[in-house]
Structure 1
Amino acid sequence: MRITLFLSALAGGGAQRRMLLLARGFAAAGQEVEIVTAAAPEDAEAALPAGVRYRALASPLAGLPWLRHRRGFWVPVVWKRLAAHLRTRPPDVLLATSTPANLTALLAAAVSGTGIPVVVGLNLDLEASLGRGLGGALDFPRRVAGIYRRAAMRIAISEGVAEGWRRLAGPGAPPIRTVPNPVDLAAVARGAAVEPEPGWPVPGEGPLLLACGKLKPQKDFATLLRATARLARQRPLRLVVLGEGEERRRLRALAVELGLGGRVFMPGFVANPFAWMARASLFVLSSRFEGSS
C-alpha cells in the first residue's frame, strides 16, 4: 500500500512528532510511505524515518515574515500544488492532521480527480478552541465538521475529542474512531539518558519546573508565568518553557515585568524534550484545553 502523510512541516510540535512515528511504523510494516509538507525544503533537516520519501511543496508565501511562524495560516495556500502532486503520484490513502492540513487535504484530493480516500486526524475539540471568538460567531466549528463528512475516515486522539466532534457533526454523520497517540517508549528512554541541550545546566537555585508546547494562546503560558511569580516570592525556583511560537516576545516581556527575568528560560523548540523531562522537578501544564486531557 502507498501511504502519503500531509502536514505543515517536519519540525514543530506534537502533531509532527506523531506523524513521523506513524510514518516509521507504516514503513516498518512494509508499506510504501511518503511525507509531504507545505514548508520549504529546509525543514528536511529534521530526522526522517528510514525508507520514507519526502516532498516539500514550498509555497513562496511561506517565506513572508508574518506567515513564517504561523504555519496553520499558510498550509491552505499549497492546495493546488498538493492536488498536482496527488495526480502525479497518487497514493492509496492520504492522511492529514490539524484543521488546516485536514481541510487542505480534502480540497486537494477532491480537485485532483483521483478519488483518493482521505483520513483526517482530530486532535482537539474545535468548539472549545474557536467557539468563543470570531470562529464561533461564524459557526466555523460546525462548518468544518460538515466538511469532514467527506473524509473516508475520521480518527480522534481521545474519546473526549471524539464526543465533541460527534456533537458538532450531528446525527447521521459517519462514525469516528478513537486511536490514542503513538508512543515510542524506547526512544523516550534513549532521549532521557542524554544531557539536555541547548541551555543545560539551567542557572539558579531551587526546583526546576518544566512546560512544553507551542507559544500560542491555547497553552496559556501567561497564566503559568503569573503563578510562577507568586510562588517565586516564597521560594527559589526556575522555570523552563520548551517551544516556539508567535507569543515569544509577549511572554518574554511579561516574565521581565513580573520580575522573573533571571528565573524563566525559553530555549525554543528542542528535538529531544525527554532529556529535560528526566531532570525536571515538576512538569506543569497550563493549557486552556488539550485533546488528550
Structure 2
Amino acid sequence: MKVAIVMSRLSNGGLERVQSHLAHAFAARGVDTVVAAGRVLHRHSGDFPDAVEVIEIARPGRFAFPFGLYRFLRQTRPDCLFTSSNDVACIAVVLKRLCFPRMRVIATHHLSLSGPIERATGWQRVKLLVVRTLMRALLGRADGHVAVTQEVASDVSAQTGLDPAHIRVIHNPIIGDDFTSRVAEAAPALPWPGPVIVFAGRLAPEKRIDLLVDAFETLPPSHDARLLIVGDGPQRAALVQRLAQPALKGRCFLTGFVANVFPWLAASDVLVLPSDYEGFGNVLVEAMACGIQVISTDCPHGPREILDNGRHGQLIPTGDATALRDALERTLSGQVRFDPAQLRARAAEFGIDRAAQAYLEIASAGVVPRTAD
C-alpha cells in the first residue's frame, strides 16, 4: 500500500509535527509513504525519515496547488491520500472523482469550522465561508473522515451536514518511544530562582499571548515567578515591545522557535494555553508528559477533551485575564496540584503508535492490493 500525506504548506507548527509523527510511524511499519506540500517553508533536519520523500508541489503559490497536486498524484499514484486541511480535502475529492477513482481520500479535520468563522473578518471570513460551502458540496464523497477530537467531529458535522457516524475520532499522535531522549536533549539552564510559567506555541492572535501577559503582570510579587515564552510567529514584534516595559523587563524570556520543546517544558512548573480556539492542543499533552501542571482556557474544540473535563488541569473561561491570574495563583500557591504520575499516564494515551495504527486501518479499508507489472 502506498500512502500520501498532503499539506498546503510545510512550516514549523504543531500540524506539521503531527504529520511527521505519522510519516515516521508509517515508514517504520514498512508502508510506502510520501509527503506533498504546496510550499516547503521550513524543514528541520530529522522531521521526516529518509525513507519518506517530501515533495514541494506548488512553489509559485496557492493558485498553482490544484495543478501541482494533479501532477503529484499522476506521478506517485497513491492508494490512499490523507489531507490535513479543508481546502486541500475539497481539491483532492474533485481530482479523485475526475482522474483517480481508485484512490481513497481521507479528509482529516484538525480544526473546528465554527471557531475561526466566528472570529474572522473581511476577506478571511469570506474565504472560510466559501470553503465551508465547498465542504458541504464535496466532502460527502470522500472515502473517510477523521477528526482529532470528538468536539471537532461534532462541529464539522453540524457545519457541513456530514453524518457524525462517518467521522472517526483519532487523537493526535504526540508521545513516541523517543520521548525520554527528547526530554534530555539540550535541557536549558534557566537562571531564575522562582517558579516558571511557560507558553509554547505559535505567536498568533488566536493564541492570546496578550491575555497571559496581562495575567502574569498582575500576579503578586511574592510568587517571584518568571514567564517563559517558547515559539515564534506574526505577533513576535508586538510581544517583544510589550515585554520591554519596565513592569515586565527581566521577568520574561522569549526563546523564538525551538525544534524540541520538551526540555523547556520539563524545566518549567506550569504551562498555560490561553487560546480563543484550538483544534486539539498538542502542547497540553506534551506538558502533561513532562509531569508539569497545566492551565488552559476552556476553548473550542480540544482542551476539555484532552484534560478530561478538568481532571488533569484547570479549565478557565476564554478571554478572562482575571480568571487566568486566579488559576495561576492556585497553582503557584499549591492550592491546586495534579499528580504528575497521573498527568504522565494521561499523556501516554496520546501515543504515536496507537494513532498510526488507527490511520492505517482507515487507509487500507477497501484498498485492492497492487499486482506486479
* Both structures adopt the same fold (TM-score exceeding 0.5): yes
Deviations 1:203-252 (A, max 9, x none): 44421111111111121111111111112645322212222211111222
Q: Is the 8 A contact 2:117 2:129 kept in 1?
A: no
CA RMSD of aligned residues (A): 2.7
- Deviation, structure 1 residue 11: 4.3
Q: Is the 8 A contact 1:159 1:178 kept in 2?
A: yes
1:143 maps to amino acid: T
2:32 maps to amino acid: E
CA distance in 1, matches of 2:252, 2:265: 16
**What is residue 18 of structure 1 aligned with on the other side?**
18
**What is residue 69 of structure 1 aligned with on the other side?**
none
Deviations 1:253-272 (A, max 9, x none): 22234732322222222221
- Deviation, structure 1 residue 140: 4.5
Q: Is the 8 A contact 1:155 1:176 kept in 2?
A: yes
Q: Rg: which structure is higher?
A: 2
Distance 1:171 1:177, change over 3 A: closer
**What is residue 202 of structure 2 aligned with on the other side?**
214
SS at match of 2:43: helix
Deviations 1:69-112 (A, max 9, x none): xxxxx4x642211211111221111112133443454455556x
Alignment map for 1:80-95 (pairs within 5 Å): 80-95=67-82
Pair 1:161-2:152 in alignment: yes
Deviations 1:267-286 (A, max 9, x none): 22222111111111111111
SS at match of 1:284: strand
**What is residue 65 of structure 1 aligned with on the other side?**
none
Q: Is the 8 A contact 1:39 1:58 kept in 2?
A: yes
Match of 2:172 among 181, 206, 211: 181
Identity across the alignment (%): 27
Deviates more, 1:159-168 or 1:262-271: 262-271
**What is residue 226 of structure 1 aligned with on the other side?**
214
Match of 1:285 among 255, 268, 273: 273
Alignment map for 1:24-35 (pairs within 5 Å): 24-35=24-35
Matched positions, count: 276
**What is residue 43 of structure 2 aligned with on the other side?**
43
CA distance in 2, matches of 1:258, 1:144: 50
CA distance in 2, matches of 1:148, 1:3: 19
Could you state the TM-score of these two structures normalised by the residue count of structure 2?
0.66
- Deviation, structure 1 residue 156: 0.3
Deviates more, 1:17-26 or 1:146-155: 146-155
Alignment map for 1:75-224 (pairs within 5 Å): 77-106=64-93, 109=96, 113-115=99-101, 116-134=103-121, 139-140=129-130, 142-146=132-136, 147-170=138-161, 175-196=166-187, 200-224=188-212
Unaligned 5+ runs, structure 1: 62-73
CA distance in 1, matches of 2:42, 2:135: 33
Q: Is the 8 A contact 2:44 2:259 kept in 1?
A: no
Could you state the TM-score of these two structures normalised by the residue count of structure 1?
0.83
CA distance in 1, matches of 2:232, 2:20: 19
Q: Is the 8 A contact 2:157 2:163 kept in 1?
A: no
**What is residue 67 of structure 1 aligned with on the other side?**
none
Deviates more, 1:84-93 or 1:41-50: 41-50
Q: Is the 8 A contact 1:226 1:258 kept in 2?
A: no
Alignment map for 1:204-283 (pairs within 5 Å): 204-231=192-219, 233-257=221-245, 259-283=247-271
Distance 1:154 1:194, change over 3 A: same
